[in-house]
């Protein structure tokens, strides 16, 4: 590493992309407290963190890309060194578009680690200059997944708003309930 906080390409000697930035990519459908925790911790490590919301037209998403951007921005509004963008295509290409070389990933469990290991090997073939950096989920968030949150929001009847506060940031709760509760809104709150 050079003195000006630049990564040096081991083959060419070029120092073009700063290591002071990282990209955290995912669908964020919806954003969870686990995601927020990873971004907050990353924002303390890196000078700039870009949250990349992947757009997969083959996936049936709960929220549109624009809605996800808005919900993520609201959930992270106090972090001045975080930006939120959408992308389609490969994560490694998005990292390059952001002028970064760090692909940040959150890991909750050993099964996540196995999946991420395979993905990292693939990403290294696609772009050997992109480094994957892993942050372990905080213990209190390790069990949270988007599918679990959708189940809780869709099936809970009593105190669902209060229950969701343990899993998602406040700005996500109402839009999530509007999408998943019956049309009569009978949530018990």
Q: Is 150 a catalytic residue?
A: no
Nearest Cα neighbor of 62 from 27, 25, 24 is 27
DSSP state of 132: E
Structure tokens at 163: 């229950």
Please give the Cα distance from 67 to 135 (Å, whole number). Answer: 26
Contact 80, 73 (CB under 8 A): no
In this structure, are strands 21-26 and 102-107 parallel, antiparallel, or unpaired? parallel
Q: Is 124 a catalytic residue?
A: no
Identify the active-site residue in 100, 146, 156, 187.
146
Identify the active-site residue in 35, 68, 101, 105.
35
Q: Is 75 a catalytic residue?
A: no
Identify the active-site residue in 108, 132, 137, 187.
108
Q: Is 35 a catalytic residue?
A: yes
Please give the Cα distance from 149 to 177 (Å, whole number). Answer: 11
Identify the active-site residue in 2, 10, 59, 147.
59
Other Cβ atoms less than 10 A from the Cβ of 39: the count is 24
Catalytic machinery residues: 35, 59, 108, 146
């Amino acid at each position: 590493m050079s003195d000006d906080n630049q990564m040096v390409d081991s083959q060419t000697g070029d120092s073009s992309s700063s290591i002071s930035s990282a990209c955290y990519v995912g669908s964020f459908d919806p954003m969870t407290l686990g995601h927020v925790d990873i971004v907050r911790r990353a924002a303390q490590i890196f000078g700039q963190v870009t949250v990349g919301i992947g757009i997969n037209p083959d996936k049936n998403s709960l929220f549109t890309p624009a809605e996800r951007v808005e919900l993520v921005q609201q959930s992270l509004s106090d972090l001045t060194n975080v930006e939120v963008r959408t992308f389609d295509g490969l994560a490694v290409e998005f990292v390059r578009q952001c002028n970064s070389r760090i692909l940040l990933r959150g890991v909750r469990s050993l099964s996540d680690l196995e999946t991420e290991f395979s993905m990292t090997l693939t990403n290294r073939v696609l772009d050997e200059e992109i480094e994957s950096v892993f942050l372990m989920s905080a213990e209190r968030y390790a069990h949270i997944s988007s599918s679990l949150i959708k189940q809780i929001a869709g099936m809970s009847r009593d105190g669902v708003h209060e229950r969701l506060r343990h899993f998602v940031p406040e700005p996500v709760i109402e839009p999530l309930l509007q999408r998943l509760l019956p049309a009569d809104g009978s949530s018990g709150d």
